[in-house]
Amino acid sequence: MPLAMPNIKSLLQSIRENDWYITAFDFAFNQHSYVVVFEDLRELDKGTKYYAVMLTFIDKNDENRILKTYANSYNFNASDEELRDYFEIHGDGCGKGIWNLYNSFNSDMPDSYTPLDNQYRNTVLNIIDAREHNEGFCCYMARHNGKNSSGEQINRSGKNTAKTKLLRETLFNILGDDKTISFCYRQEGELSDSEIIANLAQNDKNRKGKP
């Protein structure tokens, strides 16, 4: 069976090679324009044997029209009925229409990762924040992660990396190389880079001073 959407595999590989997990791009089909958010399911701990990508389609003319589906290079896991309804595929040749959907999607999708365009920034940040239980966009602390029950060091998540690079690039450029550091967010009360860095240094000093 030929790959209907080989660019899914190519883009996912490129994202992973760039130590990233999420991107977005435009997609036009059947007289509708969409923003598509593309996420690595491995980062969401939802990967399956057959699907490695989560796609979120958002209709540009009605942001409440959203379709979420797992995807691989062969198909989407949304049912044919869901796809026909969302993408308004009508007529007797619905199977061919869905195949045309896959071909069109593959043509519009990039095959490699590039830094996120500013026009998609807020959409991507809202997706990430929803994954993080809507904790907010105000960074107030950086902290060293501990170890898990097996004694292994816990590294920062890809979601936390992406959120901080997009919201606090200068802070990330100072602290982000250390993957054991995570950045904490809340709804209000953002602190400056200098305050966060000073507090991290003091907390590390206090921790090392413990018997």
Question: What ranges do the domains of the chain cover?
Answer: 6-126, 132-208
pTM over 0.85: yes
DSSP letters along 67-106, please? EEEEE-SS-BSS-HHHHHHHTT--SS-HHHHHHHHHHHHH
Whole-number Å distance between alpha carbons of 134 and 131? 7
What number of CA atoms fall less than 13 Å from residue 42's CA on the CB side? 11
What would the pLDDT profile of 138-181 be if each residue is shown by its tens digit?
999 999 998 888 889 999 999 999 999 999 999 999 999 999 99
Q: For the stretch 190-207, what's the b/e string if a residue is b when 16 or more beta carbons lie within 10 angstroms of its beta carbon?
A: bbebeebeeebeeeeeee
Q: Confidence class of residue 94 from pLDDT cuts 50, 70 and 90?
A: low
Neighbours of 156 (CB within 10 A): 19
